[in-house]
Structure 1
């Protein structure tokens, strides 16, 4: 007679049917007391590293804060990190690796192309992904699936808010052009900004805008001078730019000798936070920048103030990038969802995230149940180089209620204007 011990029982079951062991109390209790594993997938090398690295820091601080407070449901959070290099094939392989290591809850992702590729395999891998920066409208429209969530704003919200402010503040500037990277993110942002100009100029500036065909640039390039020269020949005065990270730094530095920023004004930057401003310092031209989170706009929010304090202590940086706040918020969303989805199973987590309202550094956020787009404030600030110790200054900021600029929830249907 074989004695039924815990070891013998597991041998009899075999590795291939280990899931069946969940019915055994010693296995079930061991899993219930272990950590919740969360996988970070983001650009930690290449031209988008300057976006992915601060996002990861926000994730780390959130994990540390939650674990120091006793974890979620008495369980700690365990973070596993992978670099997607902003490449769809690398991102997909890295996502599968994370799931293979037990991380069915994924977060991060800078690149829309990576987000679209990973989103396509989530159901197959039985995983859920919360993106913290990927802005393609396709993710919550025609390519939507229930395993994908966006924790931040989207181009419809942000670029239309930027267009609203331009029509309100610079109504006399009625000619607009663009310098746009020729990929999913660039096209999404331009389409929404273009529509925002056409919507708000007649209403606020009492004028019809003239909008040029945008100059489409390369991604990951080293020489943008020909693109800048094309933009200089464009009769448009105001310009929208959505190159990001290292590409934007290179482009803006190469544009200075052309006198681009003297001839073109205002400049609207889609999402570079303080990254380019820190690189160029006093040479940084004034522009309006869209931000995921700006700590100066939410002073008095304890979560905001504490995150800013900790991040400044770690880095010595005063002007913090919004990607930090989004990485932090994604972890908070998972932690809040796990209070009701304590099993950590993907289906339970998805159900808990749908319609979830949770605290973040920008205040309360709600994830729409219909399309998994988060309703949150849209943040813009006017920044320029300065001779102070930081080399930059924020002249002013604007916070727009996300509920007033969000797109209708139409999962599965392409965005049309």
Structure 2
């Protein structure tokens, strides 16, 4: 899956450079050269290949990677080589905490922002909602649950039970039964992988008798989620949900070139490219890290999901997300996220975890 995410991100980044430079692929007379390396989703490999880019290719800016573990492996290199690292789409919220450094910016959203969006959806529909959670017993699952619990409680809700089946589970019966017994207002499901719990949730009556929410993932995963018809959730991006000129251009161009609509990580790649070009325009093409840091801090930039800006303290991008309803549509081979409302950045914003020296 991460390989697919990488391809999406690469296509989006290249389209973003084209859009932001009006097709010139240059800023202030300086041509933009992009060199791609595959991390193979192995942190040690990610670090080795980042060093090659920095030492041998003498790159001015690093962008990526897909995996948060890979991102953690290269955070320190940005400071060591004094080069800006633009994180996209790695989402673990700790990457912009105290383990980070002043050379690191993230144009992507993070897991805490996802959690805030999910909590906002639930509280918007059921004030003081009582929620039960089903998530894999993995770093991925717990990285979502921990900030979600804090976000929900801050908004007046509470968590009744947290169920963590093994990430490779194929029988979810005891975990689902305990959730049913807790009688929640909402069931929050966090899952990634083909062994998803949707069929059993349907068979055990959860989807019929309870409100169930989740984040709308990439289109490949949406093909396995038809059981969620009528349920609510949130999304970072879906090609028909984001409504602005940048996304209109992205959908048109991506469909023309690749015979498919853009996906979540395509949007993210484009956002990272637009942030970089915006900063380079402001520095008149100067790629010096200090010039870029001072420019990027607090800088607003456009993206396929609307305006974003980098928080000056920890360099985490602030952005809107989308409340959606899952619907079926004729001619679609997947469940479709339909826009309910834009969740403003103020509702999504995560706590500042560190403040970098200026």
The 5 Å alignment of 1:202-241 reads 202=157, 209-218=158-167, 223-227=168-172, 229-234=174-179, 235-236=181-182, 237=184, 238-241=186-189
Q: Give 1:67 deviation, angstroms.
A: 6.5
1:49 counterpart residue number: 3
Moved more, 172-181 or 49-58: 172-181
Q: Give 1:264 deviation, angstroms.
A: 7.1
Is the alpha carbon distance of 1:155 and 1:305 closer, same or farther for their aligned partners in structure 2, counting shifts above 3 Å?
A: same
Q: Give 1:254 deviation, angstroms.
A: 6.2
Matched, 1:108 2:64: yes
> Does the CA contact (< 8 Å) of 2:238 and 2:263 recur in 1?
yes
> Does the CA contact (< 8 Å) of 1:366 and 1:374 recur in 2?
yes
Q: Give 1:61 deviation, angstroms.
A: 1.0
Is the alpha carbon distance of 1:269 and 1:56 closer, same or farther for their aligned partners in structure 2, counting shifts above 3 Å?
A: farther
Paired with 1:201 and 1:72, the residues of 2 have a C-alpha distance of 48
- Gaps spanning 5+ residues in structure 2: where? none
> Does the CA contact (< 8 Å) of 2:65 and 2:90 recur in 1?
yes
Paired with 2:12 and 2:159, the residues of 1 have a C-alpha distance of 40
2:211 counterpart residue number: 266
1:250 counterpart residue number: 195
Which of the residues 81, 91, 111 maps onto 2:36? 81
Scaled by the length of structure 1, the TM-score of the pair is 0.74
Q: Deviations over 1:313-351 (max 9, x none)?
A: 234335x42221111011111111112432312232222
Q: Give 1:215 deviation, angstroms.
A: 0.5
Is the alpha carbon distance of 1:282 and 1:58 closer, same or farther for their aligned partners in structure 2, counting shifts above 3 Å?
A: same
Is the alpha carbon distance of 1:97 and 1:290 closer, same or farther for their aligned partners in structure 2, counting shifts above 3 Å?
A: farther
Q: Give 1:194 deviation, angstroms.
A: 1.3
Matched, 1:351 2:294: yes
1:122 counterpart residue number: 78
Scaled by the length of structure 2, the TM-score of the pair is 0.85
> Does the CA contact (< 8 Å) of 1:179 and 1:243 recur in 2?
yes
Paired with 2:80 and 2:28, the residues of 1 have a C-alpha distance of 28
Q: Secondary structure at the match of 1:276?
A: helix
Is the alpha carbon distance of 1:144 and 1:79 closer, same or farther for their aligned partners in structure 2, counting shifts above 3 Å?
A: same
> Does the CA contact (< 8 Å) of 1:153 and 1:378 recur in 2?
no
> How many residue pairs end up in the alignment?
350
The 5 Å alignment of 1:233-382 reads 233-234=178-179, 235-236=181-182, 237=184, 238-244=186-192, 247=193, 249-252=194-197, 255=200, 258-259=203-204, 262=207, 265-270=210-215, 272-277=217-222, 279-280=223-224, 282=226, 287-299=231-243, 301-318=244-261, 320-341=262-283, 342-382=285-325
- Gaps spanning 5+ residues in structure 1: where? 1-46, 203-208
Structural RMSD (CA): 2.9
Q: Secondary structure at the match of 2:308?
A: strand
Q: Kindly name which structure, 1 or 2, has the bigger radius of gyration based on alpha carbons.
A: 1
Is the alpha carbon distance of 1:263 and 1:230 closer, same or farther for their aligned partners in structure 2, counting shifts above 3 Å?
A: farther
> Does the CA contact (< 8 Å) of 1:181 and 1:242 recur in 2?
no
Paired with 1:273 and 1:197, the residues of 2 have a C-alpha distance of 25
> Does the CA contact (< 8 Å) of 1:355 and 1:366 recur in 2?
yes
> Does the CA contact (< 8 Å) of 2:216 and 2:234 recur in 1?
yes
> Does the CA contact (< 8 Å) of 1:181 and 1:187 recur in 2?
yes
Tell me: higher relative CO, structure 1 or 2? Use CA pairs within 8 A at least 6 residues apart: 2
Moved more, 281-290 or 359-368: 281-290
Is the alpha carbon distance of 1:194 and 1:369 closer, same or farther for their aligned partners in structure 2, counting shifts above 3 Å?
A: same
